Amino acid sequence: MLTTEERIALAEKWIESVPEGFKVIVHVGSCCLRECVKLAEHAQKIGAWGIGAMAPPFPKIGRIEELVKYCETICKAAPELPFYYYHIPAFNGAFLPMTELLKAVDGRIPNFAGIKYTYESLYEYNQCRMYKDGKYDMLHGQDETILPSLAQGGAQGGIGGTTNYNGKELVGIIEAWEKGDIETAREKQNFSQAVINVICNYRGNIVGGKRIMKLIGLDLGPNRVPFRNMVYIGDSDTDVPCMKLVNSYGGHSIGIYNKEKDDRSKVHKMMREDRIRYFVPGDYSEGSELDLLVKAIIDRTAANEILEREHYRCGAETGKQA
């Protein structure tokens, strides 16, 4: 992950590099609210067009009022900039009703501009879009469902995770819709979903997406700590978003259950939902199931890294992209 200093430097470089009229929205979200404030103040200082933030994955926000206060604190740090809340509950566990969020911020946070909506509920998205005759800007954030959102009335804009390498097809959906060419719009939407299927099969956009960018000539470098090397051990509901994130990108999420009660219902549910890869009793002593499992993961990780280095060495020697 980027450090605060690197995020500041990156924002400055974007402002320096973009042409006149290009709207730069700086993401300022963080698990540390003080860091959010610092990044928001900096974004306003350097002349960004707007700011945005997702809810922190830890600690998990579980009530609308908590989310409002989180957004309010950030907005006060950059009162001159429009603020967009980034709704992506699959990553942070903030499965909260967005219509209620709009009602709560209405009249309370003056620079709350709208929501980047990245969730499966097209019904809720449309309800938010129609709130007070479209008072808030509902940016569409799910590349898989652009066409059905257009059928409901559309959005003024969107932010897509695959736009960097599949932008022509995504824009093509909108262009075909505007021309009344529904069949072409369907074809492009289906192709866009096929792209999503590919990156999901290769540990998501952070891993698979970066590899696609490298294939088209933009080498963004390796992930700082590859997700495949991460181990997350969790024993409560607040851990679920982080476990899901690590597990989705090829890491090792371990669910813990109470050894004395032997109640495995929660870890069984998390296993069925692909939130964890393993589950063991909550015994942290040497020689326990957990101890042996973690050591086995470490041994496997070390072996994988040796093989990866050898693979990249062979690729470099032959001129073949790894």
Spatial contact of 162 and 189, defined as CB atoms under 8 Å apart:
no
What are 224-260's pLDDT values in tens digits?
A: 777 788 999 998 777 777 888 888 878 999 999 998 9
Fill in the DSSP letter of residue 134.
Answer: T
Backbone angles phi, psi at 18, to 5 degrees: -80, 155
Spatial contact of 232 and 239, defined as CB atoms under 8 Å apart:
yes
Is residue 116 annotated as a catalytic residue, yes or no? yes
Q: Residue 21: which region, alpha, beta or left (left: phi > 0; alpha: psi -120 to 50)?
A: left
Fill in the DSSP letter of residue 19.
Answer: P
Annotation: CATH topology of 4-160: TIM Barrel (3.20.20)
What are 269-320's pLDDT values in tens digits?
A: 999 988 899 999 999 999 999 999 999 999 999 998 888 888 878 877 787 6
Res 90 pLDDT > 90:
no
Is residue 86 annotated as a catalytic residue, yes or no? yes
Backbone angles phi, psi at 108, to 5 degrees: -110, -40
Residue at token pair 């993401």: 27
Res 154 pLDDT > 90:
no
Where do the domains of the chain lie?
4-160, 162-224, 227-318
What are 190-220's pLDDT values in tens digits?
A: 999 999 999 888 878 888 898 899 999 999 8
Nearest partner of 174 among 29, 267, 77, 160, judged by Cα: 160
CA count, 13 A, side-chain hemisphere, 146: 31
In order of 15, 16, 156, the CA distances from 19 in angstroms are 9, 9, 21
Q: Give this prediction's pTM.
A: 0.76
Q: Which of 116, 188, 210, 244 is catalytic?
A: 116
Q: Which of 86, 249, 257, 278 is catalytic?
A: 86
